[in-house]
Amino acid sequence: MAFIQWSDDLSVGVSKIDQQHRELVRMVNQLHDAMSQGKSKDVLGGLLEELAGYTVQHFQTEEQLFDTHSFPAAEAHKKAHAELTQEVVSFKQRFDKGEVMLSVQLMNFLKNWLVDHIQGDDMNAGDFLASRGMS
Ligand SMILES: [Fe+2]
């Protein structure tokens, strides 16, 4: 059983966003498995870097869609993205310095954040974009 199991409950109804969310789920699962298997700090750091990079790229995709379609709740949603980016970047910096390690708590935090964000803000955005004809 995967750490995060993809299901239709996570689909926001816009294929471009769903596809990227699936990739994020895959990357969080990969990080979780690597941590569970006791992989080296270098391996974990590399996966963390990839996850952070892909997250930033994904947020940009969503935000461009918000701008293109004049999504009314864009500002609050962008703020949520900026906060998460900041948390990930500062975690990565502390990880690189050896101040913190990957832990079950951190993985659960990531999982909950991702699932809550998808099922909350992203679901609202997906409904709006679908009403504008995106699928
Ligand atoms: Fe989002």
The single residue listed with the structure tokens 């997906």 is 126
Task: Tell how far the Cα of 32 is from the centroid of ligand 1, in angstroms.
Answer: 22
3 within a domain of the structure (yes/no)? no
Distance 118 CA to ligand 1 centre (A): 7
The reply to whether 122 falls in a domain is: yes
C-alpha 58 – ligand 1 centre gap (Å): 8
Mean pLDDT across 3-20: 97
pTM to 2 decimals? 0.94
Percent of the chain with pLDDT over 90: 96
CA of 74 to the centre of ligand 1 (A): 10
Residue 44 lies in a domain: yes
The parent domain of residue 44 ranges over 15-131
Domain CATH code at residue 55: 1.20.120.50
What is the count of structural domains for the chain? 1
Q: Confidence band (pLDDT; 50, 70, 90) for 1?
A: confident
Q: Is pLDDT at 2 greater than 90 in this prediction?
A: yes
**Residue 65's Cα: distance from chain center in Å?**
17
What are the tens digits of pLDDT across the range 13-48? 999 999 999 999 999 999 999 999 999 999 999 999
For 62-81, the pLDDT digits (tens) are 999 999 999 999 999 999 99
Cα-to-centroid distance, 115 and ligand 1 (Å): 11
Question: What tens digit of pLDDT does each residue of 86-123 get?
Answer: 998 999 999 999 999 999 999 999 999 999 999 999 99
Q: What single-letter DSSP state applies at residue 114?
A: H
For ligand 1, a single-atom ion, the residues with CB < 5 A are 62, 122
| Number of neighbours of residue 69 by Cβ within 10 angstroms | 16
pLDDT beyond 90 at 54: yes
Residue 1 per-residue DSSP state:
-
Quote the ligand 1 centre to 60 CA distance (angstroms).
9
Answer yes or no: is 9 within a domain.
Answer: no
Neighbour tally for 91: CB within 10 Å = 18
